[in-house]
Amino acid sequence: MAEHDYTIATASTADLPAQFFAEHDVPFISYSYTIDNEVFYDDCMEESRERVYKRMRKGAELSTSMINTYEYYEFFKKLMEQGKDVLYLDMTKQLSHSYVNAAEAAAQIREEYPNQRFYVMDTLCVSGGLGLLLTYMVRLRDGGSSFDEVIDWAEKHKRNIMHWFTVDDLHYLKRSGRVSNSEAMVGSLLHVKPVLYVDDDGRLTLCSKVRGRKSALLAILDKMKTDFTEPDGQEVHINHADCIRDAEFVRDRVLEDFPSVSRVTITNLGVVIGAHCGPGLFTIFYLGNKRFS
């Protein structure tokens, strides 16, 4: 593994496989989650994610906890002890207070290590979108780009990371307060599926409601035709919560509609995001031109 002049670090909510972090020298801090009163830490292993969603489908209750300031401080301190500048990425502050805790810990770290730089980015991304942004930044680092060059590219392009989602069961959005009890009840009876996206401010936003799961997937594919205008050589990330057939269906359609993409990867969705949207959550991420508004 090549030695780097600076460190790029992230959180488990980048929803990349643990193997990616190990192979590309990217330390990550783990969010915790609780299933039926038993606490776990998100290890980013595909097997762990599969196990969680199977338990959720059997009725297990899943909840998550944000990372507190002390935990961030301890993680950041270990990174700084290596003597390198650090660039840290977490999910958008619009979806988690953890970003505020990370920023507070980073302020303390900067006081203790005045001769090193520590940069915390509000990525405006979440889940596989955060993972895709990280992937491009790691690629730039490995290609010889400097600390400042990587930050500059990411700040300019983070709003170009497209996020599209749909859920299978409105029960989980009801629990998180994103839909009302009546909306969840009517939606379930009528098989209404929401199509959601992350906007320029990093908020999860409703785009439309359609009847039926396949219609939701096709609606997302239609949106790609408007915001994925330069697919040549790009990669597309699909994350799913125990809905592999849907993921494979969309992958095949993406390769058919955009034959010039370099690849489409499919991985299990991280459990922290999955806790709020449930099994059946489908997500797709790519570098596009402009987020839907």
* pLDDT on residue 170: 57
Q: What is the pLDDT of residues 22-50, one digit of tens each?
A: 999 999 999 999 998 899 999 999 999 99
pLDDT above 80 (res 173)? no
* Angular region, 141: left φ>0, alpha ψ -120 to 50, beta rest: alpha
Residue 184 — very low, low, confident or very high, per pLDDT cuts 50/70/90?
A: very low
Task: Give the torsion sign (CA, 222, 244, 168, 273).
Answer: negative
Give me the domains of the chain, ranges plus CATH numbers. 6-159 (3.40.50.10170), 160-287 (3.30.1180.10)
Residue 179 — very low, low, confident or very high, per pLDDT cuts 50/70/90?
A: very low
pLDDT above 50 (res 180)? no
Residue 111 — very low, low, confident or very high, per pLDDT cuts 50/70/90?
A: very high
Distances (CA, A) of 257 to 69, 230, 248, 251: 45, 12, 14, 10
Task: Give the torsion sign (CA, 209, 210, 211, 216).
Answer: negative
Residue 223 — very low, low, confident or very high, per pLDDT cuts 50/70/90?
A: very high
| Residues written for the chain | 293
| Percent of residues, the chain, with pLDDT higher than 70 | 92
């998180």: which residue's tokens? 176
Over residues 201-216, the mean pLDDT reads: 91
* pLDDT on residue 12: 97
